[in-house]
Amino acid sequence: MGVELVRGQNHPLPRTRLEILISAEVPVLVAAALGDEGGRVRDGQGIAHPGAPVLAGVEVPNATAAGHRLSADLGALSEAVHRVTVLLALPGPAARFGATAAPRVTVTDADGTEIVGFTLAGLDAESAVVALELYRRQGGWKVRAVGQGYAEGLTALLADLGLPGAREAAEAIHEAARPGAAQAAAPAKTRPSDGGPVDYTHPGRQASPRLQPQPQPQPQPIAGDAAGWSMEERLYNQVWGMFEDLARSTAALRSAADFAAARLDRELDAALADPRARIGGAGEAARKAAQAKHDELMGRAQAAHDRDLAQLTAEAKVVEPALPAAYARWDSPVWQGHRMPTEVPHAVRLGDLHLPEAASLRIPMLVRLPLERGLWVDSGATPADLTDTAERRRLALDVAVALAARLLAVHPVGEFSVEVVDPAGSGAGPIGALTRTGALTGPPARGTAGVAQALEALTRRVDLVRMAIGGGATEALPDGFDTARRLVMVNDFPQGFDDRALTRLRFLADEGPAAGVHLLLVADRADAGEYGPSLDPLWRSLTRLTPSPDDHFADPWVGHAWIFEPSLPPRGGAVLQQVLSEVFAARIKGE
């Protein structure tokens, strides 16, 4: 008996030669998409379907049927293939999975020994669904129960996999699956199905009991065990893999809890509704049986989550010390001997993310460079934060200064600079760490006039660069033009801003990143309330960070609310001053 998975749960695959059995109440078509490390399918040649059932490493049936057997040899796949997505679709235009019994998927090894099973419950208006995916992880392979349905059908599913021309590909797959069309396709090696019940007894099964394969030990985690051209890129991809695994494992735990609770409620209601159950001990026995089923399911779900968490925690212990300065925590030893790099890093760390079910495991929040969006450090109060206003504003500015210092330190000399707008001079203390080391392009802009002058110069800069890039004449920029990317840190926004300055700031937020100008606002949104909704586009265009833990980030896979914690230097330490001094010394030497 294999492991029963719930939606989002994963399980290691002990073998690379597999069979995937699919059982449905009505005929369905089956396909398998071969994706890269991001799960994207580059073209139609990467999909095995009834019209082209055989690809290197994957073979699917060549017709619709109520039962299917897919074959997979993961060892025969190209190294460029990192995910095999198994998908189902109903052939009729008005068909929906909610009108039939839930399909079931079973993964076995080549000898027929069941590894995992998954019932695709909870589908309704969907006519296409991603059943499961096989994916590379730490030098091996895993299977994940997905169950993601698409009411818009196969076209929407293929588009979600990144396939160009998804509509045309979906139409071709449906056409190839029509009765009679399969004869024109290359014959599959799998046993043809007539649409009736399928005998899933494997030809190699013996009547006598067989020894079950022993559980395979989890591979020892290795830093940099992911795809990428450089160690830095591999570490980036590995961190994102950990992020995704924790998101999906937690989704599986939460899904199991919801399912177990709903089933318990139904069974208890049924027991109470039956008058016969109230006589004698039948009712109590039914309640105990329902509770036992609930506890057994939750025990298995929690054990699976604990296993995933232990593996990810072990991986984090080897990955965190290997991270380069751009990715590392401020208390990492990598900062002690830091020297200015010669290349722009792949990404930068903004802070850490975690979930309540795994509070001890922090996932670095890495964002690609150059920054595609500006940053907003929210100095306003939140319901869960009891910090007083003055302290929260100071903490917000500390976060902004630490981010500015990190960006300066991880860029090559002369390729990144910081400009400060501090109208009332209220940030003189924390910003002093930047001014004392000469890390700024000039003194902070003060007062309404200083704000207007600084934003006017930045607007001209962005306009000039945009015209040069648009005209393909970047070499025509004026002699001595500073081509370094620039971070514009604005403290206590919107203090000191008039309507004209606000318009320019919104322009910089929208157009600045493409021209090398990035915003970093330290602001309380409530302070800008008098401007009404006119500033809403500005807030939405920025990535919101908080100086204290807050659950406002959603992951791109299942949409969990993740708790963000900023990356700050240890209190009382000198690491920030040391790093900024190194930036200044390298700049002087370069001049």
CA-based nearest residue to 28, from 135, 123, 146: 123
pLDDT tens by residue, the chain, 591 residues: 678 888 888 888 988 999 999 998 889 999 999 998 878 898 878 999 998 999 999 999 888 888 889 999 999 999 889 999 999 999 877 688 888 888 999 999 988 889 999 988 888 889 999 999 999 888 889 999 988 889 889 999 999 898 988 899 999 898 888 765 544 444 333 333 333 333 433 433 333 343 444 445 566 788 887 777 889 998 999 999 899 889 888 888 888 888 888 888 888 887 777 666 556 667 788 888 889 988 988 888 888 889 889 999 999 999 999 999 999 999 999 998 888 999 999 999 999 999 999 999 999 999 999 999 999 999 998 776 767 888 999 999 999 999 999 999 999 998 999 999 999 999 888 898 888 877 788 899 999 999 999 999 999 999 998 888 777 776 777 777 888 899 999 999 999 999 999 999 999 999 999 999 999 999 999 999 888 888 999 999 999 999 999 999 998 888 889 999 999 999 877 899 889 988 888 878 765
CA-based nearest residue to 115, from 75, 82, 72, 147: 72
Domains of the chain: which residue ranges?
Answer: 3-198, 238-322, 373-474+481-547+567-590
**Tell me, what's the pLDDT at 447?**
94
Place of tokens 């003055």: 390
Encoded tokens for 560: 């969990």
C-alpha 64/C-alpha 88 separation (Å) is 10
Does domain 3-198 match CATH 3.20.20.70? Answer: no
Ordered DSSP codes for 398-412: HHHHHHHHHHHHHSP
Residue 118: beta bridge partners?
A: 5, 105
* Amino acid letter, 449: A
C-alpha 390/C-alpha 395 separation (Å) is 9
Alpha carbons within 13 angstroms on the beta-carbon side of residue 200 total: 20
CATH number of 373-474+481-547+567-590: 3.40.50.300
Residue 136: beta bridge partners?
A: 141
Q: What is the pTM assigned to this prediction?
A: 0.72
Alpha helix positions (H), 485-556: 499-511, 536-541
Cβ atoms of 30 and 60 within 8 Å: the answer is yes
The backbone region for 315, taken as left when phi is positive above 0, alpha when psi lies in -120 to 50, beta otherwise, is alpha
Per DSSP, which regions of 321-445 are E strands?
347-354, 363-368, 374-378, 416-421
Cβ atoms of 207 and 295 within 8 Å: the answer is no
Q: How close are the terminal C-alpha atoms of the chain, in Å?
A: 70
